[in-house]
Amino acid sequence: MSGSLFLQIATQLSLGLILIGMAVAFVRVAKGPSLADRVVALDMMTVTIISFCGVYAVFMDEPSLLDVAIVLALVGFLATVALARYAERRIARDGADRSETSELETRHE
């Protein structure tokens, strides 16, 4: 088996496994019982897309796709930070709403 044939088989197998990982992450985004599950699944989808770009760049011998992967990694990081801040504020807001509701309930009793 030559090196180029091995590389071709390895990249095709990698692309298939990456697509399976993307499908699993998509299911978790759709079903995820909590916001944290969905945020982690979106982060996983970002990582799988970045890895797909990298493997596809090797498969097609097109190095310009690596620039796309780098930009997507930066945007994905910022999106993850933004979603984490949103989740943190939502939890703090929901906790404050519950404490106000419990105070109102104790006053009426």
Give the domain CATH number at 29.
1.10.287
By residue range, what is the domain housing residue 104? 3-108
- For the chain, list the strands marked E by DSSP: none
Token reading at 52: 């797909």
C-alpha distances in Å from residue 105, one per residue of 92, 93, 94: 20, 18, 16
Whether residue 101 has pLDDT greater than 70: no
pLDDT at 60: 93
Residue 83 pLDDT grade (very low, low, confident, very high; cuts 50, 70, 90): confident
Work out the burial of residue 73: count CB atoms within 10 Å of its CB; fewer than 13 is exposed, 13-18 middle, 19 or more buried: middle
- Of residues 101 and 35, the one with the higher pLDDT is 35
pLDDT at position 84 is: 85
Q: What is the pTM of this model?
A: 0.78
- Residue-level pLDDT at 106: 60
Residues 44-50: what's their mean pLDDT?
95
Compute the half-sphere exposure of residue 14: CA atoms within 13 Å on the CB side of its CA.
Answer: 18
Question: Which range, 20-24, 84-88, 92-96, has the best average confidence (pLDDT)?
Answer: 20-24
If one counts the domains in the chain, the total is 1
Q: Quick check: 5 pLDDT over 90?
A: yes
pLDDT band at 34 (very low <50, low <70, confident <90, very high): confident
